Amino acid sequence: MTERGWDGVDFVYVCGDAYVDHPAFGAAIITRVLENAGYRVGFLAQPDWRSVKDFTRFGRPKLGFFVSSGNIDSMVAHYTAAKRKRSEDAYSPGGKMGRRPDRAVEVYCRLIRQVYGDIPIVIGGLEASLRRFAHYDYWDDSVHPSILISSGADILSFGMGEKQTLAIADCLANGGSVRDLRDLKGICYVCDTRETPYTGVECPSFENVCVNKKEYAVAARIQQDEQDHIRGRAIKQKHGKKMVVQNAPMEPLTTDELDHVYELPYMRTYHPSYEKEGGVPAIKEVQFSITHNRGCFGGCNFCSIAFHQGRFITSRSKESLIKEAVLLTKQPDFKGYIHDVGGPTANFRFPSCEKQLQAGLCKGKKCLAPEPCPNLTADHTEFLDILRSLRQLDGVKKVFIRSGIRYDYMLQDKSDAFFRELVQHHISGQLKVAPEHCSAAVLDKMGKPRIEAYLRFSKQYFNLTKKAGKEQYVVPYLMSSHPGATLSDAVELALFIKKQRLHPEQVQDFYPTPGTISTAMFYTGLDPYTMEPVYTARSPREKAMQRALMQYYLPANKALVAEALRLAHRTDLIGPSPDCLINLPNPGGGAKKKPSTKGKDHAHRQKR
């Protein structure tokens, strides 16, 4: 501030992450956008929350505070799906834990209020965005109120936030108040119930969703269905004598606007003050990567992208992407490899059909699951042209794609040109894809395509790999204990893994994070779209068994796998036969040809 001749700042941005000035970090984008608009911004990274001292470092900002937990949820950053404390934090210097509090947004806001009273506070980022309504908190195993209520903030900016951030800043700079922002798209606010707007749709109240799981499921569906920027309506949820209001979503950035945001003067690395601690690990994955799109019409039920970024696809121009690639080639540590050209889903370049340009994305339906929509337009022509141009740049040896690829979308493309060139040029030995499970019943609850699509893709992938004379592999992401998955389904998945000769080094247990349909299923035991019961593995023991079955071949998992097979009435899979999962004497007194029709798993299946 002294070097710049500032006597103060307009805004202080408080963040739970270390400061990394790279466009893969949301805090960097928002602060650069504000700076570009002429605002003076102080960045307060990972302040000590044990006192108010750090929050006074820049003095009282002229206009207000922006608060975020960082790139990911602070609770997810701190705890595994089994609620065990993590040992490393990739968004902190040296990967050290303990640099931010649990529920960072709430803690930071309370400290700001303690020091500065009624100064405007705007919260945003993933942690705030996913908690905009009353939500199930997995770590407390209870329903929490909207984070606007618990934090005491004035405004919640949901989604990607550039447009509403500038509108908020301009309003405050021109003498307006937070009350003057109540018509702004892309924000949530709290008002007295007597001031509730007439428009929009009201979902069940905080009090109701706390005591009635069916009401929670109803609320979850309403909240998901109205997140489209074209047809989405305002949503209201009563909290006692207060009303939480979410305005309609903000329109996504246009291609020109997206280009402008990504061409701001980022330093593209972490702050030099972190060098002595070994830097910030999270930069390694993205330092030489390029984001070409936003949004994801895949709409997986366990994913937060649909609720946060939205399902509508927006993309940067080829010219902007080439410009960024040239910039990468001039970085001192660049070795000739662009690590990724992607986004939420790498091969989504355009909206999935023309209809949604005027009508928005269909309510309650998915573009790809359980089968691709007949209106789907699958075309990789432009993306392929961009990749070809990037490969030809001076100083570029290889261009990889490491973001998620929707193989089911690829299979709908009438041309296999992208598939062929993906195999030939853009895979670093392994291609990561996400079939997630093999059981049709489980995949339906996930909002994923049936496993037959993965098998078709895998066959074609290896045929093309062989023709290209390469030795490359597929790494499938698989998930245990998702709502709908019984022990019998987990056994089915283990058999699939064995048949496909897979040895997943890492497996993922379902993590119930706020704001997703899958989390609503986990908490309520109901599918919000059908209101039918959904079996959910909730006990740590059963979740451990489902997880162990995915790595049945590990000696450390043998006891858990044996227990799971007995409970699933599949003792035919215990023994020395090559068809068995584990080599133990069968304690069941003889092999069974088929799973028993008795037992808890089958009862849940029949009920479903």
Q: Which DSSP string do the residues of 357-383 spell out, in sequence order?
A: HHH-SPTT--SSSSS--TT-----HHH
Contact between 437 and 391 (Cβ < 8 Å): no
d(CA 393, CA 336): 10
Inter-residue contact 234 to 182 (CB < 8 Å): no
Widest pairwise Cα distance in the chain:
83
Could you give the CA distance from residue 285 to residue 291 in angstroms, rounded to a whole number? 12
Q: Which of 444, 604, 542 is nearest to 82 (CA)?
A: 542
CATH class of 288-428: alpha beta
Cα–Cα dist 376/367, whole Å:
7
Where are the extended beta strands (E) located within 82-193?
121-123, 135-137, 142-144, 155-157, 187-192
Domain boundary assignment for the chain? 11-246, 288-428, 435-608
Dist CA 264 CA 258 (whole Å): 10
Q: Are strands 235-239 and 242-246 parallel, antiparallel or unpaired?
A: antiparallel
110: left (phi over 0), alpha (psi -120 to 50) or beta: alpha
Count of beta carbons in the 10 Å neighbourhood of residue 176: 13
Q: What is the 3-state secondary structure (H, E, C) of 568-605?
A: CCCHHHECCCCCCCECCCCCCCCCCCCCCCCCHHHHHH
- CA–CA–CA angle 543, 548, 549 (5° rounding): 100
The dihedral over CA atoms of 103, 105, 107, 111, expressed in degrees to the nearest 10, equals 170
DSSP 4-73: TT-S--SEEEEESS--EESTTSHHHHHHHHHHHTT--EEEEES--TTSSGGGGTT-S-SSEEEEE--SS-
- Domain 11-246 and domain 288-428 have a common topology: no
Residue 340 burial class via C-beta count within 10 angstroms: exposed 0-12, middle 13-18, buried 19 and up? buried
Distance (Å, whole) CA 268 – CA 23: 7
The first and second tokens of residue 199, run together, are 């428009």
Q: Is 364 exposed, middle or buried (0-12, 13-18, 19+ CB in 10 A)?
A: exposed
pLDDT at res. 607: 36
Cβ-based neighbour number of residue 504 at 10 Å? 14
3-state secondary structure of 399: strand
* Cα gap 319→415, rounded to integer Å: 25
> Residue 506: its pLDDT value, please?
76
Low-confidence ranges of the chain (pLDDT < 50): 586, 588-608
In the structure encoding, which two tokens stand for residue 27, read together? 């805090």
Q: Which CATH architecture has domain 11-246?
A: 3-Layer(aba) Sandwich (3.40)
Which residues lie across from 449 on neighbouring strands? none
> Residue 235: enclosing H or E segment and its boundaries?
strand 235-239
Residues with Cβ within 8 Å of residue 501, at least 6 apart in sequence: none
Q: Are 232 and 198 in contact (CB under 8 A)?
A: no
Q: What is the pLDDT of residue 585?
A: 59
DSSP β-bridge partners for residue 14: 44, 67
What residues form DSSP beta bridges with 64? Answer: 11
Give the span between the Cα atoms of 479 and 463, in whole angstroms.
27
Q: What is the reported pTM?
A: 0.94
pLDDT number for residue 376: 97
Decide: 281 and 269 in contact? Cβ < 8 Å. Answer: no
Q: Of 120, 114, 14, 13, which is closest to residue 64 (Cα–Cα)?
A: 120
Helices (H) and strands (E) in the chain, counts: 23, 22
